[in-house]
Amino acid sequence: MLRRKKQDKQHASTPADMLVVGLGNPGSKYAGTRHNIGVEVVDLLAHRHGSGLRKSKELALVDEVRIGERRVVLAFPQTFMNESGQAVGLLCRRHNVEDPAQVLVVHDELDIEVGRLKLKLGGGLAGHNGLKSIRDHLHSDAFGRVRIGVGRPPGQSRGADYVLKAPSKAERAELDIVVVEAADAVESVLSQGYEATMTKVNANK
């Protein structure tokens, strides 16, 4: 009986307004790689508004923050990229996030040139395995995405190998700028909504 009450209390928490997920692979080996650029955005938001990401029971590093009047859960799944949906599903249940549009995923994008930023709500997954896993666990592709361009690999290089490497010094300088812009875009979605933010972000050259 006591255990049941404890569980009920845990799951009756105030719903989060948004779950912001930075995709990447855990471990120092992958820090600074193209595939972990989404993590950098979530980490920046955690330091802007909270105390930093920390371990949780939901297979992720998490920080619960206030951005304006919104309650926001920031997360970095610790399941490796291809299984990101496991952590996202657990976090949605833990924080009573029911609408896929309340999930905003920040990730690298091969089909966008280095340093460009795009925002979309729903739609195709562009072959991104992290997004596929999230779709499978949410049973929907209607979640938001902040897409950070890392560009295509030169020549015949495989995309999988390319994203697991660190960018060049010149690319890194561009990505440092776009990480800040991506964090700003997340804040804009929270304050102004998707449509207004997409108009602003997607129009930038």
Closest CA to 123 of 36, 95, 109, 59: 109
Tokens of 77: 């799944």
Q: How far apart are CA 142 and CA 9, in angstroms?
A: 29
Give the CATH number of the domain where residue 41 resides.
3.40.50.1470
Calpha distance 150→108 (Å, rounded):
6
Instruction: Confirm if 72 and 190 have CB atoms less than 8 A apart.
Output: yes
Give the orientation angle of helix 169-192 with respect to helix 194-202, to 10 degrees: 150
Task: Tally the domains of the chain.
Answer: 1
In a domain, residue 2? The reply is: no
Instruction: State residue 68's pLDDT score.
Output: 94
d(CA 155, CA 40): 28
pLDDT at residue 11 in the model? 45
3-state class (DSSP) for residue 140: coil
- Domain containing 81: what range? 13-202
Residue 10 has a pLDDT of 43
In a domain, 8, yes or no: no
User: Catalytic one among 35, 95, 107, 128?
Assistant: 35
* Domain assignment present for 6: no
pLDDT at 8 (0 to 100) = 39
Please say whether the beta carbons of 120 and 103 come within 8 A: no
Residue 204: the pLDDT is 78
Contacting residues for 176 by C-beta, under 8 A, at least 6 apart: none
pLDDT of 13: 67
For residue 115, is it within any domain? yes
Q: Is residue 5 part of a domain?
A: no
Task: Note the pLDDT of residue 74.
Answer: 98
Verify whether residue 47 is a known catalytic residue.
no
pLDDT of 176 reads 97
Strands (E), the chain: 18-22, 54-55, 60-67, 70-77, 103-109, 117-121, 144-149
Evaluate whether residue 1 is within a structural domain.
no
Instruction: Say how far apart CA 79 and CA 26 lie, in whole Å.
Output: 7
Nearest-CA neighbor of 49 among 37, 57, 41? Answer: 41
Is the whole-model pTM more than 0.85? yes
Residue 66 forms part of a structural domain:
yes
Residue 37 one-letter amino acid: I
Residue 18 lies in a domain: yes
Residue 82, both tokens: 């291809």
Q: pLDDT digit of tens for each residue in the chain (205 aa)?
A: 333 334 434 444 689 999 999 999 999 999 999 999 999 999 999 999 999 999 999 999 999 999 999 999 999 999 999 999 999 999 999 999 999 999 999 999 999 999 899 999 999 998 899 999 999 999 999 999 999 999 988 765 677 889 999 999 999 999 999 999 999 999 999 999 999 999 999 997 6
Distances from the Cα of 173 to the Cα of 7, 38, 132, 193, angstroms = 47, 16, 29, 29
How distant is the alpha carbon of residue 27 from its chain centre?
17
pLDDT value at residue 1:
33
